[in-house]
């Protein structure tokens, strides 16, 4: 169902720049609150037909698809089980599935797009170009598709409780020994966004944050015009689990800062979370940009409100390895000359190794070890993010949007 211009009856779309509903045919502008589709009331109960019945097919691709008729040209629109707005592939007009929004819990809020498609692509390219080890072919990637999609979120208040036992290393003289540390406490979350679309991993959606919740507006389906959107398909238990995982992540970071040790890891945990049942349902904006590199799918996310870019891409491993080797050799050579000068001076003066010398040696050794462990941790983090960027389910989710 498209919302039509009252002056020329052409389909209106929401413009992120002006925050108005625009008509590309006559140039008219309206606020989303000013317009209302006259046919909406007649199409609220329009049932989308199961695609497997329409096409008389049992193929897997039709298992969660439905056929909906475009209100402008009558063409068939294929939607999945959770889509609430899409585009007609034949006439290009936006269509909102009002019956889906009406029958399921209607969102209370929507955060309109502020970043345009052109801006999203530019931000993604600028971010990639800053990558020192990103291959040139990726920096000049050819866009497969770029979709503006409203992601459903539950905005929750929650309290996370935990008692954790950490194992860490501390220095005692010339040796490092294992020690155990206990930390207990709680965290309070206010207006925590929890992704309500199962197809998008919580790791990916959380990296889109922060969203400025001051930009939320009362829900009006006209904000969806010209974009794609999904409705929530998670349960309260799913929301609690997501809040638990987010709470655990923040608790570990806070506890590690409070522990005077290195190489800390959690060996035991007793978490629980209380989530306020009075949750707010909102649609938040994101751009999904997909491309292929060496036949591998990649999806870059751009926050449709702030422009924050979320991606991790393959890098030039050979160049990275050379740089790491050069740094390691440089550190080794510098350490050798420092130790040589120290021992030469010590023998020349006839004195023994004192506490000051030992502190210097220990500082250098710990510094090299910390540098190495930090590098390993960063590589692991990048590899995890690359797996999220290359997630085939995410790529397929974006590609299946019509347009």
Three-state DSSP class for 230? Answer: strand
Which tokens belong to 154?
Answer: 């539950």
Among the residue ranges 175-179, 181-185, 195-199, 366-370, the one predicted with the least confidence is 366-370
Q: Does residue 244 register a pLDDT over 90? A: yes
Predicted pLDDT at 219:
87
Among the residue ranges 24-28, 277-281, 388-392, the one predicted with the least confidence is 388-392
Three-state DSSP class for 305? Answer: coil
Neighbours of 295 (CB within 10 A): 5
Could you tell me which residues come within 8 angstroms of residue 132 by beta carbon, excluding any fewer than 6 positions away? none
Among the residue ranges 103-107, 155-159, 239-243, 392-396, the one predicted with the least confidence is 392-396
Rounded mean pLDDT of 18-34?
Answer: 88
The reported pTM is 0.69
pLDDT tens-digit profile of 136-162?
666 676 777 788 888 889 999 999 999
pLDDT tens-digit profile of 295-317?
777 788 899 999 998 876 554 45
Could you tell me which residues come within 8 angstroms of residue 20 by beta carbon, excluding any fewer than 6 positions away? 14, 29, 30, 31, 32
In this structure, what are the phi and psi dihedrals at residue 356, rounded to the nearest 5 degrees? -65, -40
Neighbours of 293 (CB within 10 A): 15
- The C-alpha angle 187, 304, 386, rounded to 5 degrees, equals 70
Could you tell me which residues come within 8 angstroms of residue 343 by beta carbon, excluding any fewer than 6 positions away? none
Among the residue ranges 124-128, 163-167, 369-373, the one predicted with the least confidence is 369-373
Task: Give the pLDDT band of residue 227 (cuts 50, 70, 90).
Answer: confident
Task: Give the pLDDT band of residue 288 (cuts 50, 70, 90).
Answer: confident
Among 284, 223, 307, CA closest to 20:
223
- Contact between 109 and 219 under an 8 Å Cβ cutoff? The reply is yes
Q: What share of the chain is helix, strand, coil (3-state, %, to 5)?
A: 35, 30, 35
Of residues 266 and 9, which shows the higher confidence score?
A: 266
Provide the sign of the torsion angle of the four alpha carbons 65, 69, 70, 73, taken in this order.
positive
Which helix (H) or strand (E) is 204 found in, with range?
Answer: helix 202-207
Rounded mean pLDDT of 32-59?
Answer: 53
Among the residue ranges 77-86, 114-123, 192-201, 225-234, the one predicted with the least confidence is 77-86
With pLDDT > 70 as the criterion, what percentage of the chain qualifies?
57
With pLDDT > 90 as the criterion, what percentage of the chain qualifies?
26
| Alpha carbon of residue 91 to chain centroid | 32
For residue 181, is the peptide bond before it cis, meaning its omega torsion is within 30 degrees of 0?
no
Among the residue ranges 58-62, 185-189, 236-240, 292-296, the one predicted with the least confidence is 58-62
Predicted pLDDT at 52:
44
Partners of 22 in beta bridges? 13, 29
Of residues 282 and 382, which shows the higher confidence score?
A: 282
pLDDT tens-digit profile of 185-198?
999 999 999 988 88
CA distance 20 to 32: 7
Among the residue ranges 12-16, 155-159, 267-271, 347-351, the one predicted with the least confidence is 347-351
Among 137, 332, 56, 304, CA closest to 67:
56
Predicted pLDDT at 213:
92
CA distance 251 to 246: 9
Predicted pLDDT at 305:
95
- Contact between 147 and 288 under an 8 Å Cβ cutoff? The reply is yes
The most confident of 47-51, 85-89, 163-167, by mean pLDDT: 163-167
pLDDT tens-digit profile of 99-133?
555 555 678 899 999 999 999 989 988 887 775 55
Average pLDDT in the chain: 74
Neighbours of 236 (CB within 10 A): 11
Rounded mean pLDDT of 280-306?
Answer: 85
Predicted pLDDT at 311:
73
Predicted pLDDT at 289:
85
């Amino acid at each position: 169902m498209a919302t039509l211009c009252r002056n020329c009856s052409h389909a209106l779309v929401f413009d992120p720049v002006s925050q108005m509903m625009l008509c590309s045919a006559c140039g008219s502008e309206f606020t989303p609150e000013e317009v209302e589709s006259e046919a909406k009331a007649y199409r609220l109960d329009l049932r989308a037909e199961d695609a497997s019945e329409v096409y008389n097919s049992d193929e897997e691709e039709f298992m969660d698809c439905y056929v909906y008729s475009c209100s402008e040209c009558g063409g068939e629109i294929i939607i999945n089980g959770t889509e609430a707005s899409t585009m007609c592939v034949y006439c290009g007009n936006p269509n909102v599935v009002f019956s889906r929004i009406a029958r399921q819990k209607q969102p209370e809020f929507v955060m309109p797009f502020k970043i345009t498609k052109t801006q999203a692509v530019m931000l993604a390219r600028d971010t990639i170009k800053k990558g020192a080890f990103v291959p040139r072919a990726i920096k000049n990637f050819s866009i497969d598709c770029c979709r503006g999609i409203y992601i459903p979120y539950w905005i929750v208040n929650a309290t996370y409780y935990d008692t954790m036992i950490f194992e860490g290393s501390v220095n005692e003289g010339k040796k490092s020994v294992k020690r155990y540390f206990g930390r207990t406490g709680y965290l309070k979350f206010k207006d925590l966004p929890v992704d309500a679309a199962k197809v998008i991993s919580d790791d990916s959606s959380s990296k889109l944050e922060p969203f400025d919740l001051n930009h939320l507006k009362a829900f009006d389906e006209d904000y969806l015009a010209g974009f794609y959107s999904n409705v929530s398909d998670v349960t309260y238990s799913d929301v609690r689990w997501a809040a638990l995982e987010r709470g655990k992540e923040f608790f570990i970071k806070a506890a590690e800062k409070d522990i005077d040790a290195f190489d800390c890891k959690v060996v035991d945990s007793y978490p629980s979370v209380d989530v306020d049942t009075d949750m707010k349902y909102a649609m938040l904006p994101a751009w999904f940009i997909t491309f292929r590199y060496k036949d591998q799918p990649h999806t870059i996310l751009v926050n449709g409100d702030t422009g924050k870019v979320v991606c991790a891409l393959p890098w030039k491993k050979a160049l990275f390895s050379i740089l790491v080797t050069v740094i390691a050799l440089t550190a080794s050579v510098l350490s050798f000359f420092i130790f040589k000068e120290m021992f030469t001076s010590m023998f020349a003066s006839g004195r023994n190794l004192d506490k000051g010398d030992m502190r210097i040696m220990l500082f250098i050794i710990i510094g090299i070890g910390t540098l190495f462990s930090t590098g390993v941790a960063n590589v692991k983090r990048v590899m995890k993010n690359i797996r999220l960027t290359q997630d085939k389910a995410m790529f397929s989710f974006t590609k299946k949007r019509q347009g």
